[in-house]
Amino acid sequence: MECRNEYSRKYYVIFKQSSLWQQRFLKKGFGHVCIARKSDGGQYWIISDNCGGNVLTNICGMCYIENIYPNATIVPFWSIIHEKPSIRFFHINCVEIVKLVLGVRGWRIFTPYQLYRRIRNG
């Protein structure tokens, strides 16, 4: 069972190009994914990005998120709260970190483009 409640947050999922060598195997424009959300007061962006297994969190002043990430595909998404936790065995990459934060489940989702299709289709 999943629901949106007071613990759900609105995130902005950011799909962008990457300069890594794996890029040639991924769909153009969907080489990397990270997330951002507005602070509770709405004055700042809280941006979390997985870079080589390290999760980096930045705080940026409020502006249009498109100005921070030009040429990126940005999709708003409310996090999903599940009643039952899931057990996951995965390789830590940008897609898995974003799936964990958003509450998206799906063992067949490996690439940023597959995640994009999942959150766009509900």
Q: What is the pLDDT along the chain (122 residues), one digit of tens a residue?
A: 455 667 789 999 999 987 665 666 778 888 899 999 999 888 999 999 987 778 889 999 988 899 999 999 999 999 988 777 776 667 788 898 899 899 898 888 989 999 999 999 86
- pLDDT value of residue 80: 85
- pLDDT value of residue 19: 67
Asked whether 116 and 30 are in contact (CB, 8 A), the reply is yes
Domain ranges of the chain: 2-121
Asked whether 74 and 91 are in contact (CB, 8 A), the reply is no
Q: Concatenated DSSP letters for 43-93?
A: SEEEEEEEETTEEEEEEEESS-HHHHSTT-EEEEEE--EESS---------
**Local structure of 96: helix, strand or coil:** helix
Closest CA to 39 of 59, 56, 57: 59
